[in-house]
Each structure stands twice: as C-alpha cells, then as structure tokens.
Structure 1
Amino acid sequence: MLSETCFAQDQIQILHHDSLRNVHLREVVVTAVQSDSPDTRSVIGQDAIRHIQVTDLSGLTQLLPGVLTRNPDLNTPAAFTIRSISHSDPTNALGVAVLVDGLRMNNNSNLQQAALGGIGELYNSSVLTGFDVRAISPSSIESVEVIRGVPSVRYGDVTSGVVLVKSKAGIQPYMAGIRFTATEKLFSIGKGIGIGTHGGTFYLGADYALSAQDARQPEQTYQRIGIQASYAKDFPSATFRMNLRGFHMQDKNEKGANMLDGEYQKAMSQEISFLVNGQWSLMKSWLTSLEYEAGMTYGYQRNQSNVYNSSTQQVTTYELQTGEHAGYFLSPNYFSYLSVEGKPFSADASLIANLRRTIYNKVYNHFSLGVRVGTEGNRGEGVCFDPLSPPVELIGGRTRSYRDIPFVWNYAAFAENKAVLPIGRMRTELQMGIRLNHLQTKSLHYAPTIEPRANIRQVLWEHQEDGYLNSFSVRVGWGLMRKMPVLAYLYPDKSYTDKNCFTYNDVDNGQRLTVLHTYVTDKTFNSQLSMPVNNKFEFGVNLKIKGITADIVWFREHLRNGFRVVQQAEPFTYRRYTPLIDKGANPELTDKGVMNDGELLSSTPNSTFALYMRPQNGIEQRKNGLEYILDLGHWRLLNSSFLISGSYIKVEEKNNILSASYPQIELNGTPYPYVGIYEATGLLANLVTSQLSSTRFQCITQIPRIGLITTLTLQAVWLDKQRRGMESRYDNPIYLADEKGNRLDGNPMIDTEHRKRLNPVYYMDGEGNLHRFTQEMATDKRFADLVLEAGTSTAFQEDSFGPYFLLNLRVTKKIGKHVSVAFCANNLTRSNPKKLARSTQQYSLLNPELYYGAEVNIQF
C-alpha cells in the first residue's frame, strides 16, 4: 500500500494504511498551519491540540513561530498573547480578541479588584489584562485560528490579534479522555448525534480539571467544570446554529505556607454564554446572503479571603465625606474577611449582508456590509468587608457596589471587499475594508473612530505539476486597530485618604477617642482617557521549491496610548491637635473640633498630600520582527518530516506619563512639604528594550505498523536580551553621583561603580503648584529627599542570555480502532543552565523544569 506524507506550508499531514495490521492513520496535522489567505494566520486542528496535550487555550501559543515552551500551570490565571516576548504582557493580552464560535469572551467588565492599580490585590484575579483562557477546555475545541497579522474589519476592540475558537459540533463519535500528570487530573467526554432524518444535529460535551501545582501545598488547588451543548440544522436556503457553553472555576489556597487555621484565599468564576447564528441565502442580483448573530454572556465572579492580622494597633474610619470624623480603634489581633463580587454581563448582535459574484474574466468579488451593537456592564455587589475588622491593605479603603456603574454601549459598522483577480498563472487577492466604531458611555463622550485595514496577496507563480518552483507569492498587510477602555478604567472609585488628627486612649478609665481627617477626591476619573491604537504593517513571502515550503513574515507595530495606572498627588490641609497626656481626661469631638472639659484643644494646621491611582494613556510599544517557517518535506528513507520555525522580535516599551512619589517622612514634626513628579520611579527606568531570537527544530516520525507518531522538538534560544533605560522628554536624564551627592561625569548606562540618580521633573508644593526642579536643588537639604536613587550600581546593565537549548517529546499511539494514548515531556534532558543577570547581580535558571504527562482517548 501507499504511504505518503504531504505538507502545506507549516502543516504536516500523515496518511497511511497498513494492510498487515489493518491500522489506518487518517490525515494528521500536528503543527499550526498557515492559512491560504491574504492575512497571516495560523490554523490549529484538533489533532494538534490532542498531540501537544495542552491544558488551556494559552498553551496553543507554543505552536506559533518563535513562542517558547512553558509548562502548564492551571493554578495561575492565563491570558493569550500574540507576538509578545512575555506570556504575561498585560498590554498585549488586553488587546487580544478571543471569540468562541463568534462570541467575544472579553475581560472588559471584570472588576475583581479591591482598588484601582493593584492596591489590595486579589488572589488570582485577571482584572486589567486578557480573558482568563483557563475557562476554555482544549477537549471542547474543534479548531483554533490565530490571526497574527492584520485582521478583517469584522473584528473590533482589538490591538494585538484575534483568536477564533471553533467548538466541537455536529455528528461526533463517543469521545472520552483522561489525562494525568504529576500535578493535574483532567477528564472529558462528548458525543454528537443526528436527530432524525431532518432534525439537525446535537452535540453535548463536559470536562473536569483538578490541579495542585505544588505537591508541598495540596490545599492550593484549581478546579474547572465545563459543559458545552450545540445544535445545528441546515435548511434548503439557510443555516441555523445554537451554542450553549458554561464553566465553573475555583482557585483555592487554604492552610498554605505561613497560614493559620481559618485563613484562606478563594477565587471563583462562573459564566454561561448563549449564541445563535446562521446564514440566509437569498441569491438575489443585489444580495447573495445575510449572516446573523446574537449572543450573550453572564458571569459570576467572587474573590474571598480571611486573613489573620496581629499587632496592628491601628485606627480607622469609614466616612465617605471630607472632614473630621471620630474613628475606630482596631483590635490588636483579628480576622479580616473580604469579599469582592462581580456579575459581568455582555450582549451583542450583528447583521452582515454579502454580495458574491463572478464578473468579467473570472474575477471573483465578495462585498460585505455589516452592523453590530453590543453592551457590557457589571451588576455585582462589589467590595464588601467589615469596617471594624478591615484587611490591613484596605485600612482607609471603602466598600463599593458595582451596581451603580452604568452599562457601556458599542456600535460598529463596517464595509469590506474581497476580490480575486486571475491573470494567467498569477493571481491577485485583495481584502480591503473600513470599520466605524462608536463607544457610548455616561462618563466619557467619545467621537466615532475609523479603522482602515487592507491585506493584499500576489501569487506570482503557481504550478501544480512537478517542477522546480511550485509556487511563489508575496503578501502585504496594513491596518489600524483600537481597544476600548475596560470598566475599571472608565469608572474608578473615589480615593479616600485618612490622616490621624488626635488619639487619646485611657485604658484604665475606659476613655478613648480617635479623630481622623478624611480627604476625598474624584480625580481618579480621567476625562481625557483615549483608546489605544496600534498601527500594524507586515510583509510576507511564501514559496515552494521541489516540495520544500518556506513562509517568511516581517512585521512592524506601533502601539500608542496604551493603558497604565499611575500615582498622582493632591494637597490638602488638616488639623493636628495637641495630645492629652494625663489620664482621666474626657475628650469629645464637636463641630468646632476636639474639646476637653469644655475647652477647645489647640491645633496646628498641617499640609500633606493625598496619593491616588489614576488610569492614563501612558504606554507606547514599538515592535518589529521576523517570523519564519521552513518545511523540509518528507524524507522517505527515515519516514520522517522536518520543520524549522522561529522568529526574531524586538519590543521597546516606554512609559510617557509623569507619576508622583511622596517621601513618607516628617521634618520638624510636620509632613514633608513637597511631592516629586517623575518620568520614572522604582528602577529609574521608563524604557525597557527586549529582544528574543529562537528556532524550533521538529522531527515528526510515523511508524505505521504500530500506529505510532512522535514529535521530537529541539528549541534553541539564540538571543535573549533585556535592558532598562531612561529617555527624558524634559532634558532630565539619569546622572552619576558620588557619596555626597555631587554630580559626576560619565555614562550611567555603562558605568557600574557609581550611584545612579534621577531628579524629579517638577515638585509640587502645598498649594498644588508645580515648580521645575533644578540640579541645584538636588544638593539642597530642603529637596534632597526628592532625588531618587537606583538600588544597584548595575541597574542599567544589559541582561543577555544564550544560546541555550531545550528538548521536548510528544508521542501518540493508536491501539486498535477505538483507543489512542499520548505522552508528553518538556525539557526531557533537564537542561536548566544557571545565568547571571547583570542588572540585579542575581542568578536565575533558564528553561522550564522537567514536565511530563500521559493521556488516554477512547473513541467509539
């Protein structure tokens, strides 16, 4: 019998029939496939998903060019990133659109935070980043398309790329899967049936996952329960699809390290989504078909914690108005319970009219005109805790209901034309469109935005017969893409600052009083918050020579106005009363102030600053790189296929927004009188430049007589660099200083011996006025505390690693007609080289640890 391995760009197809054992291996695709389309996209089929044995959707990124291997970790929220060096890049992840069967799974309405900017950060919350794709079980997926290039104008609210997930549907055999690893247990089952002769098809599937990532802490667990149902029916001139999907996820940390009995952290997320879509074929001269879609998602999210606080000896207040108020003495030891409940909801509907026709000289044209309307909101109870036993990180915080936040409405219209123009053996494919967006909120009034996008593919040569050059094509893509602000940015809570004015605590006589001045500001709201926009351009070449296929893409992206939360300051004045030292006093708070025995206590006005977090458009990303896929074809002698893929990517991320920093010190018994306004804080860097170059060498081998397919992958990282820097827009660079603070000559980006310092651009006085900071002030005792200093003398050294290597193995074995087993191992040789990071002078281990797992699939 004939044994043949066929390749299509970066796909490996294995076809074989062994007459001796009657084992038939159907067509198998175990890598991502470059779609035959004008844009750059990777198609990942069910066989590849099963072969690489991922545990959540983000694990599929390892099939994309240049993405490094990472071990599954269901105990940590996971987001999908596209053309990113880091798996945890929140700017990139927020700009990725994840659509399941056409319905958006976004994170816009996620408000699971105690306060804006990470203050009181919640356990395993995915707020302010991409959708937590742990919710999507790989066992429920039929295929995934990842649009890495310029997407169609059909897709909006996106800056990084689009992930199109197609769920299992239609008539399917009984499928049951079991997977075991050292840390995870996963189970799945599904079946699709036909309903009568003309009743359509119905599919039902379910899955369960349990993960305990650290064997030393078995109480730290993750659970997922998923269910999926779909119905489909085809009519003579129409199609109808209905999908229902739901999941329940829970992260739990009980009795973990340094935790007492009764302490715990929990994060629970539930969601149900419903979608109806289809197409109506009209076949009119002016209208070929109508596509319709309507869907909704409703979620329930809750973060809970119970933490024991000891030796606090603090006072607090729960007032919501500016002024002096009597406060509360907290117990020295107590449990604090915190609950943050969200109920995100989204709904949208769209209608698309299509006109398809073949015109003169076999020119094919497809024109689409569509409209979409959607709404998003959150009706959760919000942040709740007992003000008499608040979490320590929320002392001074307030509860907040999310039900007061109004819904956001999105309106969009687009027009797109696709054309195929054949000219001899050449062919031109055009995809050009324009999208009009309008975001309607009660907080901000956005003007409509326009997003033009275009993809052009020119097939210069396409010859199906045997020859030296089988095909040669080039493609170009360009487009603008925007991302709407999430609810947390559109409707931040007010900021509350509490200052202690007076405290008297006579335990023996039972007399105690604490007075706090509360200052409330609503400047957390940013009326100038705009939408990030990404200008994306790419150029690709695809050619096939004697069975060897190469696909190379060069891309450049420039994202402006990316979201960032920065600290701001606002001055206010409060009174500090003369303390009472003698016992037996009876102080009380009146409208005039604190009085004792009918006399008003003397007080001193103090000026200080309220610090608050505010959303800003402060991130700018410049990205360029090269992706390549080289398919070397099938080597019959070895019965193996060879694939080389990889990328080089350089990302420059800069923070363009000034932020405030206030020294928490006192001078002569009064608060420090100034706030510094800086271009950078912390590590004194506002620019991070990262570079990564890697190649993946894959050998896919089939042993037909025993029904075995193996994939051996060597991952080589040639270049792994990162460097922090400082680019001042105010002529205020980093400088070197001696022990006395005197400025020295030299390049601080190269020097490794002297201190690195940064002056503020401005300083704010007690009246709220900004003054330009001068170099002379850096040695003035009044302002010296505003000068920032890097923690190490090597802070701006480049961290450069490589080359280093990693070996992975995937094995799939078919046993009879109904059973297949699979085995996976990451870092098979336990290669974890130890490298020194020059910037921090600390060592780290490269590559993930050894990871292995096995999976059994039964089909009948």
Structure 2
Amino acid sequence: MIHHLRIIPLLIIIFLLSTPYSYAQKTKKVNYKGQILDIRTKEALPGAVVSLPQYSIFATTDLDGFFLLRDVPVGKTTINIRYVGMLPITEELVVEDQHNKVKKYEMYEENFSLKEVTVVATNNKTGASTSSSISRSAIDHLQATSLGDILELLPGHLSSNPTLNSPSRATLRQIQSDALNSMGTSIVFNGAPISNNANLQIGNTAKEGSLNTGFASSAGSGLDLREISVDNIESVDVIRGIPSVEYGDMTSGVIIINPKAGVYPFQVKMKINPTLTQASIGKGFQIGQKGGNLSVDFDYAKSLSDERRPYQGFQRFTSNILYSKTIGENLFTTTGFGFYSDLDATKLDPSDAQYQRERRAENLGFKFNTNIVWNQTSDFFKFIKLNVSVNYARQKGYNQEIKGNFGYMVTSAMQDGTITSNRKEDIFDSTGQQITNASKLDPTALTNILPYEFLTQMSTYGNPLNVFTKLSANFFKEISGVKNRIVAGIDWKTDVNFGKGKVFDPLMPPSSGLRMRPYSDIPALNQLSAYAEDNITTEIANREFMLQLGVRADAIQPGRKENRTVISPRFNVSYEVIPKIMTLKGGWGITAKAPPLMFLYPDKAYFDYVNYDNLGATGVMDDQKLSIITTKVYDTVSQKLKIAKNTKSEIGADFRFGQTSLSVTGYNEILKNGYTFGRNFDTFHQFELVKYKTLNNRPGTYPELAVDKTSNVILGYNTPMNDKVNKNQGIEFDFSSGQIAPIRTQFVFNGAWMRSRSYSTAYSFYQKNPDSDGNYKDIGIYEAGDGTEYKRFSTNLRIIHNIPKISFLISLSIQTIWHDSQSYLGIENKTPIGYISAKDLSMHMLQPGDAINPDWQKQILENREIVDRYSPLWLFNLRLTKELKRFGGFAFFVNNLFMYTPLEESKRSPGTYKTRNPEQFFGAEVWLKF
C-alpha cells in the first residue's frame, strides 16, 4: 500500500517541477469587490458564499453584504453566489485589468412569484461529470416526503406514489434496484459521507445465504432513504457519471445533500395523504452582530400501510442544528448536530392469535459534523479544508412468532465436534465407550427438548459508530493560458459496531443452526485514502477545453491480514465545438466499494445432526427420553474476497439555443466482484455421523445404546463471494424549452433507454435430498452466467405553467414507458457440466458424450426462455403550488390522474396478470412563514 500511496505526492511533485517560475506573459491579478443585496428589500445579505470555482477562490459577505475576492486573474471566468432561501446566481464574469468599482449583485428570493421557477432537475456541471441539481423549489413542488422521492426527477426514473411503508434505496442508472447499486451510491451530507458499512441487522447468512431478517433493514445495501427528511435541505446534487476522486467508497454515484445554513424565516409545514401525516418546523437566525448563524429544524412523520390496518406503520422524527460563522477574513466553519429516530413496526394483531407475529425495527441516532475552511491569499495555495463527521446509532430489530411442528432437541454448543444430549450426565454406549463430550469440549453448552409448539422471540442489537475525517487542499496555477485547479487530500474512515448482536433464548431458538455472537467482537473496518486531481481549463481554437484528471488510492483494513488496496483513476473531458451552442463531453473512471463488515467478518456456520432420538417413540417414559446431537462448526470467512469495482464510461453532447437546451449522454458501466453470499467448492464438507440404536430400554434411565451405522453427511454453507456482475448501458436525454414568455409555459422532455444485466460468475450447484436410508447424492455442477436482463425505454414530458402575479404554478407530467421487458440469462445452462462425488467430494468435469446421472439434473422450467414484454404505458400526474404572498402557501398533487391501471397478462406465465401503473393517489401540503 505504501507504494500505491506514493503515487499521490508524486503527481503533485511532478506538477510542481514542471511549473515554470517565469513564462512569456505573467497573468495579472486584481482584487474583486462586490456587495450582495436582496432585490426586493435592498437589504444586505450577510453570510452569502461567493466563489470562483475555476480558481478555487471564495469569500463570504460581511454584515453589510460586502465581499472581497483576492488575487483574481484578469480575464473570463464564472462566479457563483449562494444564500439560503435565495435563487443562486451563476453567471459569466469578466475581470478587468483596472477593477476598482464595487459590483452589486441582487438576489431574488426563491419562490413561486418569479417569472421562471425551476421545479425539475437541471443539468449541473460538477467538474465535467454528468450530474443533476434539484433545487428547493423542485422539492417543494414535488411534495417529497423523503430523499428517495426526489430521484424520480432524474432522466429514466419512474414516478411512484410517495410512501414510508417500506425501505427506500437509491438506484442510479439501473432498471431494477438491488443491494449492489444502492450500496454503491454514496450519500454525502454537509461534505461527509453517511456510512452503512457497520450495519449488521442481518439474518443467518451462513445457512440461508440471504440478508433476510423478518424486520425492515437496509444492512448489506444502501441507506434507507426514508430516514432522511428533505424539509431542511436547500438543494441536492446527483452525480450519475464519473465523480471527482474526492469521492470514494462507492461504485454507482454520489448524492450530495446541501443543508440549509444561514438566516431564513420561521416556517411550519404540514403534509397529508391517504397513508401519511407529516409536520416540520424550521428557522434560521443570526446570533447577535458577530455570533454567526444558527439553523434549527424538526420533522415528524407517521405513515400507515393501510388505514384499515393500524398495526403496520412507520414513524420518523429528525432534528438538526447547523451553526455557521465566518471568523475574521480567512476562516469559515459550519458545524452541525443531528438526532433521528424511526420505527418500522408490525404490532401484534389481535386477529393473529394462532401465530402472534410481531416485528419491529427501531433506529435512534446522533450525528456530529463540522467543516472548517482556512482561506489563503497565496499565489498557488488557495485554501485548506478539514471535515470531521461522527455518527452513532442504536438499532434494535425484533421478531416474535409461534413456531410449530417441532418437538426435537436443540443445543447451544458452539465448538466443532461437540456431542451433547438432553441428560446432565455423560452418555455411554453398551461397551462403555463415551458418546457425549460436551463436559470437556464445550461445558457451557445447553440443551432443551422443544415443545411441539412454542413462542420464539429474538432481538438484534446493533450500535454502529461511523467516523470520517478528511483533510483537503486546493491550489491554482495558470501556466501560459492553461488554468490548473488542483485538489489533493487524504481521508480516514472507521466503521465499527458495539452492539450485542442477536439475543434470544438459546433453548428456544427462532431457527436451527443459529447462535448468538456479540457484534463488539467484530473488528472495525478502517479505510485510509489519498487522492489528487487537476482540473484544467484552457482555450483551443478560441473554444473552451476542460479536463478533469485524477487518481485515488484506497487502503482497506491497513495493517491487518485481510487488507486490500485499490487504485481508481478517473477523468472527464469537454470541448466547446460551437461557442455557446454545442459542447462535446466524455469520461472514464474506476470507482470502488469496500466490503461492509458483514462480508469481511461473517457469522460461523453451525450444523446440528441427530445421533440418536427416541423423543417420539411410543412407550418411552419421560425419564427414558434421550436425544444426542453432534454440532459441526465452520468458519465462513473468505480470504479470497476482492474489492468491488465499477468501470464507468460515458460520452455525450450539450446543446443550447438561447433558453432552449438539450443534453444527450450515452453510458456504459461494468461492475465486477459484486458482493453476495453463496457456495463454492470449498464450502462443501463431509464428516462421519455415528448413528445409535436401542438395545433395550432400562427403566428409570436412558436406554442401552449400540452403534447402528456410520453415514457420510454432506453439508454446505454460504460464504462471502465476489460472483456478482452488473452491466448497465443506456442513453439519457434531457430537453428544456425554457419558458415560452407569451404562454408562460415551459416544456421539459427527458428520458432514457436503459439495459441492465445482472449475472453470476460462479458455478451453481444442485443437490438432491438424501434417500430414506440417509445416503447422500452426488452434487451437480452447472456453468456460471445465471441472471436477468431488463430493458426499458421511458420518457417524461413535463408541461409547467406559472402565473407570477398570483404566485401560482401548475405542472402536468406525462410519463410513457415505450418498452419494458425482462428475460433470463444463462438459459443454456440446462445440463450439468460436472459433479461433486458424494463419496469423497472429489470434483469431476464431464466430457462431451458422457452420460448424465438423473441425480445431477435439476428441473428447468421451459418458460424461462420466454421474454416477458409489456405494451406501452402512460401515466399522468398533476401538481399545483400556490403561495399566499409572503405568509405561506399550499400545494396539491394527484398521481395517476385518470385512474389508468391496466392489467396485462404475463407472456411467460399465461393466466398471471400484472397491474402496471400505481393506483390513483393524492396529497396536500400547507406551509406558513413568519
């Protein structure tokens, strides 16, 4: 890893050495002064952030709204001005040789009385990567209840009814959501990523091979977006293309949340729809003349999956405090504290007396985040930034259910080879040979004979702690007309869990083969990263050329035997072919995601096999009942686990004719080494199980036993693997007419053609159950490649009409799915290519012409070869927003305006019908400002 990390300073050294200290014409620099005012009141706006991103120069306004940008190169650049609650200013700036005047900038309040209101996602230049920006007005008009709702504004994403009744996960450039895509989407809040790596609210992965818990959990996938309220958000940026090397531990993309920070009016909001009630309050105020600004907000939401069934629902409470202050002229800080609590529960239903099922998923967390920026006036060194984030949560999952059809013995033995019985004393056979060994091998092992029916209860306690620290520096140097904005930094990330893990009565376990394990025994996941990037801007043939070139090095678990390293080079490039009209762009890069704790340190696999059992025998008295069980334990840790990497590439063009704009982007992404739990040749094991029989029943004690037979037991468990591949290709487009003034209407037309393929690169296995005598069958081996392919072409036409005089805006969304299909991959894998012998687990690959044993042949459904295609589909959604001068407003929406919910028969499974559109749904929101 040391050699890899040397790449970063080496790049910086090469750049410095190649920088001439004198060149033909030295760029002249001046100080640029300005003032920021509210256009309506003409009052100064203190704390506004003014930046020249091309030069890494920024400043904040003082109490009188004045700012000073030092050492600005003379020439053309772009200026950005942001202030909470105000419409951002982004415009071209020409810095003159003699600049002595104070330039005044007037900002409009971001509301619905503007001549043109943005209520859709807009293309955004984050470097040169494909990204979208979603403003506060767009969030308000959409009436989003969580972060997941706003993603439907992205090209190719489909509309759905807002709900908090099931976990919501981010999906970028992929048709069907899966754990890999959502896990690989980084959520960044106030400059720091929110980590889910230490979430261990999972099921029995070794035995079941899945993350199923029975209660709501986002472990092993991305964050549950329901937990993130949007009422305290100023804007959201979504990077779908190749992100800057500043962003790591992700594969799919980045969602950047910009919280409200500054001074804004006291606001109360209420939302209601058929399944949800939500209320929030927020206020940003100034603390004295020099005390800085404090933003405070609270949010509460309650959702029921069905009003007729009040036993199933979700509740969320969040609060955030964000303090911002400029200290002197060069130091700027934002520091935030947050609290959140949510409960997803299915309470005990009085009508469910037979099973008494109940489940809960509780989360309670605290977060701290601070950004400290030290601004410099150096000719080369511009500013240094420190970001520290700490998140701590208390998670509890709970399941209860009455189980039936049991009546056998269970054991809590955790040592391999332990043989236990339901008797306290050691058990011997008729020859005096000792059978049980628990008293020596695992003295703490307990046993119990389960009743035929019993109530099982299990709680899963997790206490994840996530710590993130990043130190970065920005530099700028212009060399012979080539502008270089350089970013370099290092970051450290720690994810650890101090929870008690699964807690249940070991004598009344929820399932066989399950044991308790404190999460505090699991090592922390540490990541050390370094990166460097040069953002180059120049003119070629009087046309703008931009190149973003960087590399990132990540060391995962440095200093431990399971350490891994990965190098991630990335670049984005754009060229202005026709000035102000047409720009070509492209990019390529590698993104990587560390395996979460559950994949690095999985639970052991426990198997309990019966040697002898007379519990169900007739005529056996209670004091003669005997059950003997052998426990086998296997470590499921994979020493071969690799880092999941996504190779992303894209090419496109942006067009602009006045207010009209069009962006077209084609992309190709190949994610390899995706994390799953599965079986391979190393996870099958064999051992000799000794079976005993009754020689005679001895009154008052256990029966006299003798060896009946010895059988070879074959078992298999699941281990972490890298066998998942996701391939996503597509073409996105986004067209905006701009507002057509005579009719005050804007037409926005976007969409995407997408193809998503997901398949396994590992062999699959087929194993028949043992016969009635306990003889195991050979295991069939099948070729890799099983998976699914989805194709979809969808568009969304949004017609947006606003009337500024009455602060009214109405929009109609016409979503069309022109093509929608799903097919299976690997359908040619109909016959085995080999087998694993039941005698000795030796592997045998078949040759052409070899006979196939029926024991190896799995059943293949013929309809797997049929492609499921659906007809074109239309969905109409209507939204309106009305502001009441400056005192508040209300909004209303109707999804599926015409109640169009066609049933369509499946091509693959005739007689099976699918409801294509979501049901008609409506909601309203009211807010008041003071």
Q: For the residues of structure 2 that align with 1:219 and 1:691, how far apart are their CA atoms?
A: 38
Q: For the residues of structure 1 that align with 2:653 and 2:112, how far apart are their CA atoms?
A: 39
- Deviations 1:425-454, CA, capped at 9 Å, x for gaps: 511112111111111167653343211111
Q: Which amino acid aligns with 1:84?
A: Q
Equivalent runs, 1:158-177 vs 2, <5 Å: 158-177=250-269
1:490 aligns to what? 600
Tell me, yes or no, if structure 1 residue 310 matches structure 2 residue 442: no
2:216 aligns to what? 124
Name the CA shift for 1:453/1:23 in 2 (closer, same or farther; >3 Å): closer
Q: Which amino acid aligns with 1:807?
A: F
Deviation at 1:216, TM superposition (A): 3.1
Within the candidate set 379, 385, 390, 2:509 is matched to: 390
Name the CA shift for 1:518/1:277 in 2 (closer, same or farther; >3 Å): same
Q: Which amino acid aligns with 1:514?
A: S
User: Deviation above 4 Å: which 4+ runs of structure 1?
Assistant: 256-262, 441-444, 581-588, 773-779
2:362 aligns to what? 268
1:614 aligns to what? 719
Deviation at 1:571, TM superposition (A): 2.8
- Deviations 1:407-437, CA, capped at 9 Å, x for gaps: 1211111111112213565111121111111
Count of residue pairs brought into register by the alignment: 786
1:715 aligns to what? 815
Within the candidate set 442, 445, 452, 1:332 is matched to: 452
1:35 aligns to what? 124
Tell me, yes or no, if structure 1 residue 152 matches structure 2 residue 225: no
Q: For the residues of structure 1 that align with 2:449 and 2:291, how far apart are their CA atoms?
A: 69
- Deviations 1:40-83, CA, capped at 9 Å, x for gaps: 11000111111101111111110000101112221111111111
1:565 aligns to what? 677
Q: For the residues of structure 2 that align with 1:602 and 1:36, how far apart are their CA atoms?
A: 76
2:498 aligns to what? 379
Q: Which amino acid aligns with 1:247?
A: Y
8 Å CA contact 2:528–2:558 kept in 1: the answer is no
Any idea what SS the aligned residue of 1:602 has? strand
Q: For the residues of structure 2 that align with 1:511 and 1:296, how far apart are their CA atoms?
A: 59
2:665 aligns to what? 553
Tell me, yes or no, if structure 1 residue 229 matches structure 2 residue 321: yes
Tell me, yes or no, if structure 1 residue 240 matches structure 2 residue 333: yes
Q: Which runs of 5+ in 1 are unaligned?
A: 1-7, 16-21, 464-470, 589-595, 728-732, 735-756
Q: For the residues of structure 2 that align with 1:131 and 1:259, how far apart are their CA atoms?
A: 35
8 Å CA contact 2:397–2:460 kept in 1: the answer is yes
Q: For the residues of structure 1 that align with 2:675 and 2:212, how far apart are their CA atoms?
A: 20
Deviation at 1:575, TM superposition (A): 3.3
Tell me, yes or no, if structure 1 residue 140 matches structure 2 residue 232: yes
Any idea what SS the aligned residue of 1:828 has? coil
Any idea what SS the aligned residue of 2:762 has? coil
2:52 aligns to what? none
Deviation at 1:344, TM superposition (A): 0.8
- Deviations 1:205-264, CA, capped at 9 Å, x for gaps: 000010001233211010000010000001211101101122101111013474658541
Any idea what SS the aligned residue of 1:347 has? strand
Q: For the residues of structure 2 that align with 1:68 and 1:242, how far apart are their CA atoms?
A: 36
Equivalent runs, 1:767-846 vs 2, <5 Å: 767-773=840-846, 783-790=853-860, 792-841=861-910, 842-846=912-916
1:418 aligns to what? 535
8 Å CA contact 2:528–2:555 kept in 1: the answer is yes
Q: Which amino acid aligns with 1:847?
A: N
8 Å CA contact 1:837–1:843 kept in 2: the answer is yes
Any idea what SS the aligned residue of 2:231 has? helix
1:516 aligns to what? 629
Name the CA shift for 1:208/1:260 in 2 (closer, same or farther; >3 Å): farther
Name the CA shift for 1:813/1:778 in 2 (closer, same or farther; >3 Å): farther
8 Å CA contact 1:500–1:576 kept in 2: the answer is no
Q: For the residues of structure 1 that align with 2:376 and 2:766, how far apart are their CA atoms?
A: 64
Equivalent runs, 1:1-40 vs 2, <5 Å: 24-25=113-114, 28-37=117-126, 38-40=128-130
- Deviations 1:14-42, CA, capped at 9 Å, x for gaps: 99xxxxxx994476320001113411110
Equivalent runs, 1:154-233 vs 2, <5 Å: 154-233=246-325
Q: Which amino acid aligns with 1:838?
A: K
Tell me, yes or no, if structure 1 residue 676 matches structure 2 residue 766: no
Q: For the residues of structure 1 that align with 2:921 and 2:789, how far apart are their CA atoms?
A: 31
Any idea what SS the aligned residue of 1:795 has? helix
Any idea what SS the aligned residue of 2:693 has? coil
Superposed CA RMSD? 2.3
Name the CA shift for 1:760/1:303 in 2 (closer, same or farther; >3 Å): farther
Q: For the residues of structure 2 that align with 1:119 and 1:306, how far apart are their CA atoms?
A: 18
- Deviations 1:719-742, CA, capped at 9 Å, x for gaps: 101110217xxxxx44xxxxxxxx
8 Å CA contact 1:316–1:396 kept in 2: the answer is no
1:115 aligns to what? 204
Tell me, yes or no, if structure 1 residue 663 matches structure 2 residue 779: no
1:535 aligns to what? 647
Deviation at 1:762, TM superposition (A): 2.6
1:94 aligns to what? 183
Percent of aligned pairs with the same residue? Answer: 28
Name the CA shift for 1:301/1:441 in 2 (closer, same or farther; >3 Å): farther
- Deviations 1:598-623, CA, capped at 9 Å, x for gaps: xx512311111222111111111222
Q: For the residues of structure 2 that align with 1:848 and 1:778, how far apart are their CA atoms?
A: 51
Equivalent runs, 1:603-752 vs 2, <5 Å: 603-667=708-772, 669-679=773-783, 686-726=786-826, 733-734=828-829
8 Å CA contact 1:571–1:766 kept in 2: the answer is no
Q: For the residues of structure 1 that align with 2:915 and 2:872, how far apart are their CA atoms?
A: 13
TM-score of the aligned structures, taking structure 2 as reference length: 0.81
Q: For the residues of structure 2 that align with 1:226 and 1:777, how far apart are their CA atoms?
A: 64
Q: For the residues of structure 1 that align with 2:392 and 2:359, how far apart are their CA atoms?
A: 24
8 Å CA contact 1:758–1:789 kept in 2: the answer is no
Query: Which deviates the most, 422-431 or 90-99?
Result: 422-431
Q: For the residues of structure 1 that align with 2:594 and 2:802, how far apart are their CA atoms?
A: 48
Within the candidate set 511, 518, 524, 1:401 is matched to: 518
Any idea what SS the aligned residue of 1:812 has? strand
Q: For the residues of structure 2 that align with 1:286 and 1:556, how far apart are their CA atoms?
A: 37
Name the CA shift for 1:654/1:30 in 2 (closer, same or farther; >3 Å): same
Tell me, yes or no, if structure 1 residue 253 matches structure 2 residue 346: yes
Q: For the residues of structure 2 that align with 1:622 and 1:60, how far apart are their CA atoms?
A: 25
Deviation at 1:310, TM superposition (A): 2.7
Any idea what SS the aligned residue of 2:864 has? coil
Query: Which deviates the most, 32-41 or 526-535?
Result: 32-41
Q: For the residues of structure 2 that align with 1:827 and 1:722, how far apart are their CA atoms?
A: 24
8 Å CA contact 1:293–1:349 kept in 2: the answer is yes
8 Å CA contact 2:800–2:812 kept in 1: the answer is yes
Q: For the residues of structure 2 that align with 1:248 and 1:151, how far apart are their CA atoms?
A: 31
Any idea what SS the aligned residue of 1:670 has? coil
8 Å CA contact 1:473–1:541 kept in 2: the answer is yes
Any idea what SS the aligned residue of 1:68 has? coil
Q: For the residues of structure 2 that align with 1:773 and 1:23, how far apart are their CA atoms?
A: 71
Q: For the residues of structure 1 that align with 2:741 and 2:249, how far apart are their CA atoms?
A: 47
1:281 aligns to what? 375
8 Å CA contact 1:112–1:122 kept in 2: the answer is no
Deviation at 1:775, TM superposition (A): 7.5
Q: Which runs of 5+ in 2 are unaligned?
A: 1-79, 81-86, 90-110, 422-446
- Deviations 1:257-305, CA, capped at 9 Å, x for gaps: 7465854110011221111112111222342211111111111111011
Name the CA shift for 1:679/1:187 in 2 (closer, same or farther; >3 Å): farther
Deviation at 1:854, TM superposition (A): 0.4
8 Å CA contact 1:658–1:677 kept in 2: the answer is yes
Deviation at 1:679, TM superposition (A): 3.6
8 Å CA contact 1:343–1:379 kept in 2: the answer is yes
2:414 aligns to what? 320
Deviation at 1:664, TM superposition (A): 2.1
Q: For the residues of structure 2 that align with 1:266 and 1:24, how far apart are their CA atoms?
A: 45
Deviation at 1:527, TM superposition (A): 0.3
Within the candidate set 547, 561, 572, 1:430 is matched to: 547
Q: For the residues of structure 2 that align with 1:479 and 1:629, how far apart are their CA atoms?
A: 23
